[in-house]
Chain A
């Protein structure tokens, strides 16, 4: 079945460490997204990519980095510069036939800084 796979489901990081969250899709979608979810703040866009080897900053990109070397993959690195990285992270993808296309979401990664 087609879908989006995020791994790991739970991730613990020590302060000062970088950590990479994986997102893979087999839907043949061109666009991929990373969101951060905190209680009461909804989903805030970190980065998005419309095509391979290109990506744009979202609303809260500081302290994060991404790459898009393959269509299927859009990993997110949470760097030590991110002041408060503990959150639930969601990856999504869409077709690019028009902005009215549905976004498909992964099951999320819960990152905790210890």
Chain B
């Protein structure tokens, strides 16, 4: 069975600073990896996904993520954070039976 670990529960970053959110996965086959963002009381929106090819993936809102098979990681990055990036971020892994499993999430606070 697949699983996802997001080691950081909460990250605080200054506006304009860079952001990196960590994600480690466990899955026996080729992973299908996703990052989602959630605003309070809302559903989730897809930021980006990886399933093959270039290990550096570009997403919406200026986010990117890098797949590293040797480290079983799929970390999310943004070079310069805006106040509107304050939200909860979820990493997820998909399996061949369409079961989609999520990490516990990382809450990002942006300070002025």
Enumerate chain A interface residues (CB-CB to B < 8 A).
Answer: 4, 31, 33, 35, 40-45, 48, 50, 56, 58-59, 88, 90, 92, 94, 96, 98-100, 102-103, 105-108, 110
Q: List 19 A-B contacts (CB under 8 A).
A: A31-B98, A35-B102, A40-B104, A43-B105, A45-B99, A45-B102, A48-B98, A56-B97, A58-B99, A59-B101, A90-B43, A92-B100, A100-B49, A102-B34, A102-B46, A103-B36, A105-B45, A108-B43, A110-B41
Interface segment among B12-20, B70-78, B88-96: the answer is: B88-96
B46 → A minimal CB distance (Å):
5
Enumerate chain B interface residues (CB-CB to A < 8 A).
Answer: 6, 9, 32, 34, 36, 41-46, 49, 51-52, 90, 92, 94-105
Which residue of A42, A94, A96 contacts B90 across the interface (Cβ within 8 Å)?
A42
In the complex the two chains form, is A96's CB within 8 Å of B98's CB? yes
Which residue of B44, B92, B97, B103 contacts A90 across the interface (Cβ within 8 Å)?
B44
In the complex the two chains form, is B98's CB within 8 Å of A105's CB? no
Chain A hits for B94, CB < 8 A: 99-100
Give the complex CA separation of A92 and B4 in angstroms.
Answer: 19
Chain B hits for A88, CB < 8 A: 41
Give the complex CA separation of A45 and B32 in angstroms.
Answer: 17
A58 → B minimal CB distance (Å):
7
Chain A hits for B9, CB < 8 A: 40
